[in-house]
A and B are shown apart, each in its own frame.
Chain A
Amino acid sequence: MWNSLHQSFSSILVLIFCLFSSPLHAALDIEIFGGGASQIPISIIPFAAEERLAQSVTAVVRSDLQRSGLFRMVDSVSSIPHEPSEIIYPDWQMRGVNAMVIGATRLLPNGQVEVRYRLMDIAKQEILISDMETVSVKQLRAVAHRMADSIYEKLTGDIGVFSTRIAYVAKQGNRYALKVADADGFNARTAIEYTEPIISLAWSPDGTKIAYVSFENKKPVIHVQTLATGERRAIAKFRGSNSAPAWSPDGKKIAVVLSKKGGSQIFLINSDGSGLRRLTKSSSIDTEPNFSPDGKSIIFTSDRGGSPQIYRMAVAGSASRVAERLTFEGSYNVSPQYHHDGKNFIYIHRNDSQFNVAIQSLETRQVQLLTDSAFDESPSFAPNGKIILYATEIKGRGILAAVSSDGRTRQELSTQEGDIREPAWGPLPKWRRKF
């Protein structure tokens, strides 16, 4: 099981579906979905009066669901139902449709738009979701993403991530822009721009801030920027290099890598820059910390064993701060990130001269390579853990790509000009967080 990521990045969107087709049985109960290699046949009918809106709602819902790789779109041929009573079920059943989205939009006198929709189970002839929202025209895409989330969750049992945001760095010439966009690549806006590099973006767990490393001080310094206000402050600007910020799950602390005591070592600092405490103490490189979902331990990259490998260490309890080595295959394993289940983690594994995304179980230590490209880096989990966003390269240009956590579906997203890199997938919006 897996699902979505999406970007249409103003231009080229290449979808590579390793699996495709495999139509389900016509009258399959859609709620039992859960296997990997199957797609739910769904029909999304244009809503009543939708053509009068500046932004089509169903087009967004359709592309969200389509990009998840979990759905197969079945177009309407003749009948355009907007109400359950207008659905001729046998026709749709014969066409193999399991689920249908119908609805209507209405322009209100105050300029707002009322959007009503229903998700129908075609086999059972039942209403699965019935909902209505009234929003401004500007919020129509957001409404569509929320709708896609609800539909996705109803039909797959998983958390939808269509209403989330992603951050990345766009490099054009010698300009580096930190961009924040919707998960489908739309509404990209620049949070800050430099003529010096920006790397290592990290979202605060509440999604209001991004920590990053920039070089405008002629050396790496860690900044935290509040997205709503644009206000930013240097939280780690110690002598030497300051890099690799990683938020604790409660958002109160940030693990950072500093060279102030020599070498590159991991420290913990309050998110306002106060209260520095050293975490690792080695003569080796210790970098790229990432917190476990319970905040009790970190995984990080260290070359203490002679080559860069992933290690795990408890954050509290200074006594037995022993790091446990987690990766053993190959001589270069870096950039670890926990799955939100705390049981798996992803990282970059060097495979001969290739750098690929790998996923590993903490329990069984089983490793699965998810990609087969040349230069992958900076892997970042979607908040539902089903998709991994990462940076890769095509014809010498930096692009973003996404792969499902089972490796079955892959997408590539690029812009017309320049490089995009250093992706970081933001958290679920507040109203959807269950923890």
Chain B
Amino acid sequence: MRKILSIALVVLLSACANKTINPDGEEGSQANTGAMSGENASGSPTVNPLVDPTNILSKRSVYFEFDEYVVSDKYKSMVLSHARYLRDNSNLSIRIQGNTDERGSREYNLALGQRRADSVKRVMTLAGTQDSQIESVSYGEEKPRAVGHNEASWTENRRADIRYQGE
């Protein structure tokens, strides 16, 4: 019981943490995906793998180098885990949100962010995920997670995020 409690606490904390570092106004925080937990028949609540910090599925961000959009090897296993999870749960769908740093034209950055989101999506569809389960969209430079005007912030913002429906 204590263990379950502490796990629940961790989940809660991670949900909070996720919410605070996520200034992009997402309505559903990670906590909402709790709806997907507790599905097994045993009756004992299980941790939703999407928010379990020990599960790779809780990792959602792919980072990119300047002017790059290829998913680098270090993110492949994470992306492929989501691809498999979607394949196994065909009722689920995700949105991949591409982001860029603030430098340059807003519309061109929107297109660059789109390209990053598309790139993550391609890795997943090549692994067998249904196209209809994934919508790739772009926030361009409009919703920066880091708001500084420096290399550290720019690095943080060159990113694509995976969001499950309802999150």
Contact = CB atoms under 8 A, between A and B. Distances in A.
Interface of A: 174, 195-197, 199-200, 215, 218-220, 239-241, 243-244, 257, 259, 262-264, 285, 287-288, 301, 308, 332, 334-335, 348, 350, 355, 375, 377-378, 396, 422
Interface of B: 23, 25-27, 95, 97, 103-108, 110-112, 114-115, 118, 135-140, 142-143, 149
B108 A334 contact: yes
Contact of A263 (B23, B114, B139): B114
B143 A197 contact: yes
B137 A257 contact: no
Given A195-B25, A285-B115, A259 B138 contact: yes
Given A215-B142, A240-B137, A348 B105 contact: yes
14 contacts: A215-B139, A218-B97, A218-B137, A219-B137, A219-B138, A239-B135, A240-B137, A244-B110, A257-B111, A285-B111, A301-B107, A301-B108, A335-B105, A355-B104
A335 B108 CA distance: 8
Contact of A200 (B103, B106, B136, B137): B106
A259 B106 contact: no
A26 B112 CA distance: 57
A355 B23 CA distance: 27
B137 A199 contact: no
Point out which of A195, A197, A355, A377 has the most chain B C-beta atoms below 10 A from its C-beta.
A197
A241 B137 contact: yes
Contacts of B97: 218-219
Contacts of A288: 105, 107-108
Contacts of A200: 106-107
A88 to B, nearest CB: 56
Overall SS of chain B's interface: mixed
A264 B114 contact: yes
Contacts of A195: 25
A241 B110 contact: yes
- Residue in B110, B140, B143 with the greatest tally of chain A CB atoms within 10 Å: B110
Contact of B149 (A287, A378, A396): A396
A259 B118 contact: yes
A199 B107 contact: yes
Nearest to B102: A375
B135 A240 contact: yes
Given A257-B111, A287-B110, A220 B137 contact: yes
Given A220-B137, A263-B118, A244 B142 contact: no
Nearest to A217: B137
A220 B135 contact: no
B105 A241 contact: no
B138 A218 contact: no
Given A240-B135, A241-B138, A287 B25 contact: no
Indicate the member of B97, B138, B149 with the most A CB atoms within 10 Å: B138
Nearest to A176: B142
A247 to B, nearest CB: 15
Given A215-B142, A240-B136, A259 B114 contact: yes
Contact of A218 (B26, B105, B136): B26
B166 to A, nearest CB: 12
A348 B104 CA distance: 9
A188 to B, nearest CB: 22
Contacts of B137: 218-220, 240-241, 259
Nearest to B142: A197
Nearest to B137: A219
A264 B115 contact: yes
B115 A263 contact: yes
B32 to A, nearest CB: 14
Given A241-B110, A378-B106, 8 more contacts: A174-B25, A215-B142, A220-B140, A240-B114, A241-B137, A243-B110, A257-B107, A332-B104
Contact of B112 (A220, A285, A378): A285
Contacts of A263: 111, 114-115, 118
A242 B26 CA distance: 19
A335 B142 CA distance: 17
Nearest to B26: A218
Nearest to A197: B142
A273 to B, nearest CB: 19
Contacts of B136: 240, 259
Given A219-B137, A241-B137, A263-B114, A422 B143 contact: no
Contacts of B135: 219, 239-240
A377 B118 contact: no
B26 A244 contact: no
A244 B107 contact: yes
A141 B143 CA distance: 39
A174 B144 CA distance: 12
Among B108, B111, B118, which residue has the most Cβ atoms of chain A within 10 A?
Answer: B111
Contacts of B95: 218-219
Contacts of B106: 199-200, 377-378, 422
Contacts of B105: 288, 301, 308, 334-335, 348, 377-378
Contacts of B142: 197, 199, 215
